[in-house]
Chain A
Amino acid sequence: MNSLAKYETDAPNEAYYGLPQEVLFCKTCVISNQRPNSIIEQKHTKESKKPVIAFTDGICDACRTKNSKVEIDWNLREKELIELCNKHRSKDNSYDCLVPGSGGKDSFMQAHLLKYKYGMNPLTVTWAPHIYTDWGWKNFQAWIHAGFDNILVTPNGRIHRLLTRLSTERLLHPFQPFVIGQRHLAAKMAALHNIKIIFYGESGAEYGNPIANNNSAKRDFKEYEYFTMSDDSDVFLGGTSFKELKEDFAFKQHDFDPYMPIDPQICEDKEIEVHWLGHYVKWHPQAAYYYAVEHGGFQAAPERTLGTYSKYNSIDDKVDDFHYFTTFIKFGIGRATYDAAQEVRSGDIELDEAIALVKKFDGEYPARFEKEVFEYVSIHEKEFGSKIASKFKNPIVTRESFLELCDEFRSPHLWKFEQGQWKLRHTVFNP
């Protein structure tokens, strides 16, 4: 049977990942209704159905969130923030709040405002990128040098690489180990240092996660209750159950720790609260760039990120290029789409400019760090042993094997195979 038949037809009837069959583009930005929402990654397998961004009257939830902000009284919100800070501010110079971040423009501004404008004493914590870019490392240092204590948490490289490989192989999601570790670090560090308040930057609803989650500035830890009653066969990393990771990949129980959430009971006992600074202070990513340059010598990347036009946004991890390339393959949404959608919503660019940017840059193959990233996820026998290496069809990753893998993740409702080439069936410039 022709395995490409489902891609060659003009009437595809299959949509992977539970994505909507009909592809729609938001009327006011460039995002499509194929954008998945954040999920609990430890339940994520290849078979998972993804919830997607909601559209109402042709407008996406991220734009609706932005529009609803027009009516916010920011003076009132700032007063609330000051009250919150007054309640928590330490009198003995101990840490009174925790700011998770990378030293990118947003976390730079978060920590800096809290310390120098609102008189708090933040501890900053960082979950290390897979592979630092030179400029990402410099910006991280510049952040610390602007006056912050920082704890950098770097997971066991062998475990992290293996998980990155598995999440690539089984979910085409090389960024998953980073995402999981980063998500869970803050609360655990807060508990460890007896800090009661965690400040994130912008809430997920800014980018289209359900608006219902957005009305309160606090995040509850309720969803983590799942883990307290689950066992090894229904918790996953890299789309692989803990059971399989232990049996086939030689994981030990403690290897999972960095990727597990805090016990919600600890948060309750220690009265840990999560707040988004973006709830209290009008957040504009471009303004954060200016702020970080002016107050701390933050530097944009010396070259644009492949797959987009931007040089200042999420620039510290060499795996990042591949992350957005894989979202382009799975959902038809690449880095330029995410960047341009945000900038349209923020009023920095016009819709027609955003569409031109998507047309020009989205889905560009990320060749620049390819060699290093492929080496990072290659499972060499001499390093991992033959038992683990033999679990992979191609233990050593090459461009050819990577692109072959990508093809398995192309949903027929999004992709057409025509004259020897892959083509998106629907784009924002040709819906």
Chain B
Amino acid sequence: MEEMPFNDISYRQFLNEEKLMGSRCKKCHALFLPPRPICIKCHGTEMEWVEIEGRGELRAFTCIAIGPPFMIEEGFNRKNPYCSGVVELKEGVRADARIEGVDTHAPEKIQIGMPLNVKFLHRQKEGIENTYLAFEPA
């Protein structure tokens, strides 16, 4: 695993395996999700892989009525909005993700700070597997 480059391709491969993987600076131990090849805290260039457990809290969200084509293909539209949010993991890093299991017709009831657990959404397109990061209420 150490040989895998610290990039988005590796990150997405891990998501396909239902693993949420970040990188940690070997020098200052700063943690990054998604993984970075260069530490933006101490400018160190040696990284190691770290698995993120996948428990966190909602920090910001939106319920989207007009989405991009790949979301429309999933059946989302003005009558069926979806939720996207920013989640703070208990390790301290944050992730942009789909938020499932919330009532997108009553967004005023969705609470910032609500506890969430990771969920992996597997999608096939033209024979290629893509996994999207999602969270749902704990």
Q: Please say whether chains A and B are actual partners in one complex.
A: no
